[in-house]
Chain A
């Protein structure tokens, strides 16, 4: 739409943005264009991403990991790679570990950069990752928090509000083993069971901190009595 407005130089890198949050996408676009990168396509979902990427012959794609229900940014990146095998991939996300999003996540595409939004204090770093991804070098590995797959999944389900027996059912394990996993996870995350803090709440908060979401209490409207 506004591609005509951008006036990057001839050899500017052709970048596409896949991000479901409009504000982030607009801001990111403005920022990237300051660094002489040409944002040739933008999409908020998988449906548009592939056609737009092909039409605009994008060289690098920046993908948000969490695109809401359905495919993740990694899925979309893999889909785009099928059509444009040489495209560079950067995953830009608030998740400190992709496993926090989903237990059955696909492999991060080969040579992809993984940037956690919270740790992005300097845009140079992002630009570097974009350029690096094109050269196919593993610029930044996806970070891994110091938890096992089982611990992460348990933590995620706990944060979704499931009880221990529900978690046990969902994971097809014994309730006892869920309890153990929870206490080990708490220990790893440095949450002490000293009784001053509800351990479950603390764990849920820790999860939301790891996925980059601030915990503000929902405003609940009570019906008139």
Chain B
């Protein structure tokens, strides 16, 4: 079992790792728990007391919370470092389920909602234990797979997007894009100024500010159209639901386990088992029929699933009620309603989970083999577009703001409409020009500019974390990165005799990380370069390190704190 790996992690790592206990799973469990309490409503000495049962439901929730809390701080405390065995997670789930079952029965009897019965207590505890033992590992597995997929996809996409941005930059597409954006901003500013009473600088200032804010926010409102093959998490879930047949056995197991306790509690052992057998058989037939339909007409999957579930529900719940349930209709209604939710949910959940695991692996494999080039290109362009728009907005807000206000004061003195229009045009052009000077904000561009004069002597490869590019670095940090890279390239060439230098600039929460690798003679033979080393020392808080690489050459690493 452990040899099976999903997304590069073993089942033990998925189930027994970080997600073995998570409050996210707890939140997911809340609505189910509230619904599930309806199955407990059995006999009512004094008629239906909704508030009482609500209190019981809350008590059940609290019981689970206590179980989660205790497990989180005791037996599962070190799971992030060393994943626990799957059976441990199942046992924890079982214990929590048993505890909840007991709490529900005891609280409902002590509130006088129903008489206490030992058989009832045992039924509930067994049912809760079974469900918990199944639900906790399953939930952990699903959450872990989804988050693993997300982070792996994120990493791959980031990598691809930064490659793609470099490619776009080389091909000049970015310039075209930026020119188009700058043109748009120019028009916007021009039309803003044209419709204004330019004699009031405050009004002009306010209008420019508003325009810059609008541009700034514009980049968040643009992801309306979905890409064709969506590799985001929800895209994968969607695809999983669409194409795949329903996994019959897992659905039967999950549904059966969740129904066992309640059915036996409601109908007694013998009739409960008969009821369960009937329900499972009916459900099995429905699922098999549904799958035949899905395989025959994959395009009409929703129709197939929907109709089959409806049939299944019609067969299972009301008939089993009529046949086996001794309760009056007003008490049984909640169970029927619950089933109407629970059964489709089990089917959809199981289908999505099993499909998502397969399709996420396929998607990741595709991503790494560049099949999704179009999507990556789009994302890269979007990143670039966002960056450019933000830059334009920032420039409009900062650099261009005062000249524009000053310009508007000039406008106010002009009566000649023609001259006015010309000046407005001029101002707009100036803004567009500022926008085109894209180098100002981009670390990649400035580092490439630093590396460029070394062409012929040193082959410099620059790689900047897209996270860094996405945010605007403080000027001082940007300048320091520039100076250090400049110094490191010069040192590698002058003292190491290197002709290949790799510069990686990475994003850390605490600052900017710079790594410079070269293929020179290494550090023993390098002369002490006074300024360079002193510069590294002043720029970094927790020092810097230079060492020889196993493959030859030196490796400089330092972190510039924020």
| Shortest Cβ gap from A50 to chain B (Å) | 5
On chain B, the residues within 8 Å of A149 by CB distance are 530
B234 contacts which chain A residues (CB < 8 A)?
A: none
What is the chain A residue whose CB lies nearest that of B453? A70
B50 at the interface (CB under 8 A from A): no
Looking at the complex, which one of B450, B453, B455, B529 makes contact with A104 (CB distance below 8 Å)? Answer: B529
**Contact partner of A70 among B406, B452, B495, CB < 8 A?**
B452
* Interface-central residue, B455, B457, B486, B537, by most chain A CB under 10 Å: B457
Choose, from A5-13, A71-79, A201-209, the stretch at the interface. Answer: A71-79
* Interface bits A142-178 vs B (CB < 8 Å: 1, else 0): 0000000100010000000000000001111000000
CA distance A95 to B43 in the complex (A): 102
Q: Does B23 contact A (CB under 8 A)?
A: no
Main secondary structure, interface of B, reads: helix
CA distance A171 to B453 in the complex (A): 26
Report if A172-B538 is in contact (Cβ < 8 Å); known contacts: A69-B453, A70-B453: yes
A123 touches B (CB below 8 Å) = no
Q: How far is the CA of A106 from the CA of B531 in the complex (A)?
A: 12
A170 to B457, CA, bound (A): 27
Across the interface, A103 reaches (CB within 8 A) one of B454, B456, B495, B531, namely: B531
Contact with A along B440-475 (1 / 0, CB 8 A): 000000000010111111000000000000000000
Of A71, A75, A170, A223, most B-chain CB atoms within 10 Å? A71
Does B4 touch A at the CB level, under 8 Å? no
Please indicate the chain B residues that have their CB under 8 angstroms from the CB of A46 in the complex.
Answer: 453-457
Shortest beta-carbon distance, A169 to chain B, in Å?
6
Check if A45 is an interface residue, CB within 8 A of chain B: yes
Residues of A within 8 A of B491 (CB): 104
Tell me which residues from 48 to 74 in chain A have a Cβ below 8 Å from any Cβ of chain B: 48-51, 67-71
- Interface residues of B toward A: which range? 20 to 34
Taken together as a complex, chains A and B put the C-alpha atoms of A70 and B495 apart, in Å, by 15
Please, which residues of chain B bring their CB within 8 A of the CB of A68? 453
How far apart are B455's CB and chain A's nearest CB, in angstroms? 4
The complex places the Cα of A171 from the Cα of B538 at a distance, in Å, of 9
* A47 located at the interface, meaning its Cβ lies under 8 Å from any Cβ of chain B in the complex: yes
Q: How far is the CA of A49 from the CA of B453 in the complex (A)?
A: 11
Main DSSP-derived SS at the A contact region: helix
Interface status of B268 (Cβ within 8 A of chain A): no
Residues of A within 8 A of B531 (CB): 103-104, 153
B422 at the interface (CB under 8 A from A): no
Q: Which of A84-141 contact B (CB under 8 A)?
A: 103-106
Fill in one digit per residue for B197-210: 1 if any A CB lies within 8 Å of its CB, else 0: 00000000000000
- Given the contacts A103-B530, A104-B494, A104-B531, A71 and B537 also touching, CB distance less than 8 Å: no
User: Known contacts A70-B452, A172-B534, A172-B537: does B490 contact A104 (CB below 8 Å)?
Assistant: yes
Bound CA span A103–B452, Å:
21
Within 8 Å by CB of A49, from B456, B486, B530, B535, lies B456
Whether a CB of chain A sits under 8 angstroms from the CB of B53 is: no
A-B contact pairs, 7 of them (CB 8 A): A46-B456, A50-B456, A68-B453, A71-B453, A75-B457, A104-B532, A223-B406
Residues of A within 8 A of B (CB): 45-51, 67-71, 75-76, 78-79, 103-106, 149, 153, 169-172, 223
Binding site for A on B (CB under 8 A): 406, 450, 452-457, 486-487, 490-491, 493-495, 529-532, 534-535, 537-538
